Structure 1
Amino acid sequence: MLWFFLGIMWLFLLFKIVFDIFRDDTLGGWGKTGWLAFVILLPFLGVFVYVLARGKDMGRREIERVIEQRRAFDAYVRDAAEGARPSSADELAKLSELRSHGDITPEEFQKAKELVLTGSGPSGGTTTATPPDSR
């Protein structure tokens, strides 16, 4: 059981090292080729030498990669959230169109306009009830 566990751990480490070699931007093409050949042709010795020579930088590169992924995800969510929220001008144009078609009364238009301009309307997070369709 112990040898099985150690074998699984060694395979995990081998794959982690191969991925690290490909992700490392500081290594050139020949450096990557050399390390890969060393790790594949002499796996036990190659893994141990790689961990001794570049083990500290492996962790740093992994942390930098995770931080960069987090920044990219946060930027994506921020952009998506800003794009999903209609601007006040868009909301006022829709309200004006509803009023001109007779779907809402002038009083309802004024109330909704005040809500949009004060930021309490749909773009501010609070939703208002829509009037029933009068068609």
Structure 2
Amino acid sequence: MHTLVKGLIAGAAGTTALNTASYLDMLVRARGASSTPRQAVEKLSDLTHTDLGDGDRAANRTEALGSLMGYATGIGAAVAYGVLSGRRRSWPVGVLALTVLAMSGSNVPLTLLGATDPRTWPASAWVSDVVPHLAYGVAAYAAYELMR
């Protein structure tokens, strides 16, 4: 199977695991969804002078684009892993690499856009970020290795 296809499938599996872990966290702790994706879309639309519409239309498009950016990041991280890894990695190395790629792929652009600043996060915010990304790394690694 081609590296790109394996990366796409592994990224989809990892992103599903990340979203599931995030929603379980929201359920258990009764916390709201992160506003960071919405803020990023708003900042990007301002930077690119893109009109998302008015009122509910803009809010709905902003929500959808935020989610789609998350899927693109998850899939892109697994594709990058496949292209960069070349040979088989041990599970701790592979899981860590995928976790770091996914966290970096989301947090670096969000930080550069000014939508978040990880230096100011409390411990609970780090847990809310690390645990789902670790679930991503485990699922994406397992999916990728099962296709080798």
Normalising by structure 2, what TM-score? 0.26
Q: Give the greater-gyration-radius structure (CA).
A: 1
Structure of greater relative contact order (alpha carbons < 8 Å, 6+ residues apart): 2
Normalising by structure 1, what TM-score? 0.28
